[in-house]
Amino acid sequence: MAQAPSSPLTEPAAVAAAGREVPAGRRLLAVLVLATALGPFAMQVFLPALPAIQAGFAASPAATQLAFSLSTLAIALATLVYGPLSDRVGRRPALLGGLFVYLLGTGLCALAPTLELLILGRIVQAAGGCAGMVLSRAIVRDLWPRERAAEALAWITMAMVVAPMAAPALGGLLVDLWGWRSIFLLGLPAGAVVLLACRAALVETGRPGATAGGSATMLGAFAILLRHRGFQGYALQAACSMAVFFGFLAAAPFLVVETYRRSAVEYGLLFVLVSGAFMAGNFAAARLSARLGSERMILLGSAGSLAASATALALALAGVWTPLALFLPTAAGGFAQGLAMPNAQAAIVSVHPGLAGSAAGLAGFLQMATAALAAQLVGSLATGSPVPVTFAMTLCAGLALLGAWHGRGAGEAR
């Protein structure tokens, strides 16, 4: 009788990596999922606390927003570092070190007596927490060949979507019951559990020190990519799509709590609409992309995102200032972005197959840096009106569509 092919979820034995046998299977994959979810969860669970932090420190909206935008920028910079670092020192020490940094930042946030120290803590927390997001994918590539890695990567990607869905509702509940510091007091044991689980389950899967080259090689690869029209267009599309989302994140908690006079818990529940719609868009993309083609999906999703953002802006200009007038169009835009973004990511790493890793790292940096800039600008323009944020979302969605149009038909580098 023919034996069913194994998968990352059912692999009972061991997988060769770095010249030796490394245990793999459900336990290891569960640990990687937890490590991946920690960073997105920490970012989203914090957002409902922004109005309370502003009131607690008697700070301006622009100053308070730095706790969000600078931590986003820290993720952008750390994304460039973890890959090369793990090539030099190994996946395991890089991941464990990042999780330890996360704990240090979370502790500083919990005890911060000033807004400045809270912002510093958020930067440290974010830089450490994103280690799992970056290195879990590298570990999967180390352990499983391409055709068997898809299932593991699907679970890891799902963690990056599901964790942000649940986090705002929990964060809002914690803020309403015990104040904003309780969010970080929860983050400490959560991070400790993930660190201990990784320490117990993960052995080295890479080849420390085996990668040739250095910063000069990396910069040369970046220069090649930035000259390619396909990378230019699709990186712009992905970065501006991320800016749409982060601009919304920067303003939505303040609008819900201060303008619409709703609770932080209600913000968290409304946010599920946006995350759920994005997830639905991802599922639709998985079914439709092969049939319709990647370029068509990117253009379709980008156009849908622009239409949804423009609808939110039109409602705001018409004086329809309600939570659903903001969240329903944003959810529709999230669905459209779910159609476009997986295809844009695939296009980014396909423009130059020999530089796929560099393309992913550079595009990730550009996405998070653009998102940080959008979050800070939108947060600084807080007026109690939904018009500034919906205008910014519409502008960024328009730039994303322009990028999709610019990148179409570029093909692979020769």
Residue-wise pLDDT for 211-270, tens only, equals: 444 555 767 778 888 999 999 999 999 899 989 988 998 888 889 888 898 887 888 788
- When pLDDT is averaged across residues 11-34 and rounded to a whole number, the result is 61
**Model's pTM, two decimal places?**
0.72
- When pLDDT is averaged across residues 333-349 and rounded to a whole number, the result is 84
Q: Which of 102-106, 149-153, 346-350 has the lowest mean pLDDT?
A: 149-153
Q: What is the pLDDT of residue 97?
A: 94
Token pair, residue 414, equals: 């020769």
Q: State pLDDT tens for residues 71-114.
A: 888 988 888 888 777 767 788 898 999 999 999 999 999 999 99
Residue positions counted in the chain:
414
Q: Which has the closest alpha carbon to 272: 145, 153, 414, 172?
A: 172
In sequence order, the β-bridge partners of residue 15 are 22
168, burial (CB in 10 Å: exposed 0-12, middle 13-18, buried 19+) = buried
The top-scoring range by mean pLDDT among 30-34, 118-122, 201-205 is 118-122
Name the average pLDDT for the chain: 82
The top-scoring range by mean pLDDT among 44-48, 263-267, 333-337 is 333-337
Q: Please, which pLDDT band fits residue 383 given cuts at 50, 70 and 90?
A: confident
Give the separation between CA 211 and CA 238, rounded to whole angstroms.
Answer: 28
Answer whether residue 374 shows pLDDT above 50: yes
In the chain, where does the domain assigned CATH 1.20.1250.20 lie? Answer: 20-203, 214-408
Within 381-407, where are the H helices?
387-407
Q: Which of 32-36, 108-112, 163-167, 170-174 has the lowest mean pLDDT?
A: 163-167
The CA–CA distances, whole Å, from 378 to 15, 71, 77, 251, 302 equal 47, 15, 21, 7, 21
Architecture of domain 214-408: Up-down Bundle (1.20)
User: What percent of the chain is predicted at pLDDT more than 70?
Assistant: 82
CATH 1.20.1250.20 describes domain 20-203 = yes
CB atoms inside a 10 Å sphere around CB 350: 17
> Are 331 and 395 a contacting pair, CB within 8 Å?
no
> Are 407 and 340 a contacting pair, CB within 8 Å?
no
Angle, helix 131-143 to helix 91-111, in steps of 10 degrees: 160
Q: Which residue has the higher pLDDT, 413 or 300?
A: 300
- When pLDDT is averaged across residues 354-378 and rounded to a whole number, the result is 79
Answer whether residue 5 shows pLDDT above 90: no
Burial annotation 302-335 (CB, 10 A radius, 16+ → b, else e): bbbbbbbbbbbbebbeeeebebebbbbbbbbbbb
DSSP string, 316-354: HHTT--SHHHHHHHHHHHHHHHHHHHHHHHHHHHHSSGG
Q: Tokens 């963690």 identify what position?
A: 159
User: Which helix H or strand E contains 311, and what residues bound it?
Assistant: helix 294-317
Q: What is the pLDDT of residue 394?
A: 97
Answer whether residue 210 shows pLDDT above 70: no
Q: Which residue has the higher pLDDT, 358 or 196?
A: 196
